[in-house]
């Protein structure tokens, strides 16, 4: 059986994204049952009446579907071209860790500077992964 360590960070981030997705209906239903919002507040997405506690999981979920798309592409590209190395696998795990940390900051105490710092670091790591992949492909 072949091991494909480059795919494990991708699988982990996908699992995390689904975990965040599960928080959305939990917080929305809790908000409806508490009377904080009504079902009508979600008719066209989220109205301005939706409190941050209820809207944050959805915003975090959307964030996990934006730049991580480039992460998924580079993982699959490395896998297909067999250009992954232990360094790129470690960087991929670092990226996943930073994205999880970003979610945790966002969904708990939500300090903007902390959240931005973790987000920016994750983007730098993603850029490094792409640069390493590009160099590997060019030099094949």
User: What does the pLDDT look like over 63-73, one tens digit per residue?
Assistant: 999 999 999 99
In a domain, 1, yes or no: no
Question: What torsion do the CA atoms of 21, 94, 120, 65 make, to the nearest 10 degrees?
Answer: -30
3-state secondary structure at position 65: coil
Cα–Cα distances in Å, from 21 out to 30, 65, 132? 15, 11, 31
Residue 90 resides in a domain: yes
Provide the pLDDT for residue 104.
98
pLDDT score recorded for residue 5: 96
What span, in angstroms and rounded, lies between the C-alpha atoms of 125 and 131? 10
Domain that holds residue 85: 7-138
| pLDDT at residue 1 in the model | 46
Rounded to whole angstroms, the Cα distance separating 100 from 61 reads: 11
Look up residue 18 and give its two tokens. 């689904």
Q: What pLDDT is recorded for position 2?
A: 61
In 10 A of CB 10, how many CB atoms?
Answer: 19
Measured at the CA of 74, the angle between CA 71 and CA 78, to 5 degrees, comes to 140
Residue 2 lies in a domain: no
Look at the chain and report how many structural domains it folds into.
Answer: 1
Low-confidence ranges of the chain (pLDDT < 70): 1-2
Nearest Cα to 120, choosing from 99, 106, 100, 105?
99
The model carries a pTM of 0.94
Output the pLDDT for position 47: 86
């Amino acid at each position: 059986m072949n091991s494909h360590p480059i795919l494990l960070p991708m699988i982990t981030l996908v699992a995390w994204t689904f975990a965040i997705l599960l928080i959305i209906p939990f917080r929305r239903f809790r908000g409806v049952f508490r009377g904080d919002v009504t079902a009508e507040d979600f008719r066209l997405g989220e109205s301005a009446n939706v409190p941050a506690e209820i809207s944050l999981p959805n915003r975090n979920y959307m964030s996990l579907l934006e730049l991580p798309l480039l992460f998924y592409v580079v993982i699959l590209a490395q896998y297909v071209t067999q250009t992954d190395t232990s360094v790129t696998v470690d960087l991929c795990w670092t990226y996943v860790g930073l994205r999880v940390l970003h979610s945790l900051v966002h969904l708990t105490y939500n300090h903007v500077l902390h959240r931005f710092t973790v987000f920016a670091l994750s983007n730098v790591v993603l850029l490094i992964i792409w640069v390493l992949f590009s160099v590997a492909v060019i030099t094949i």
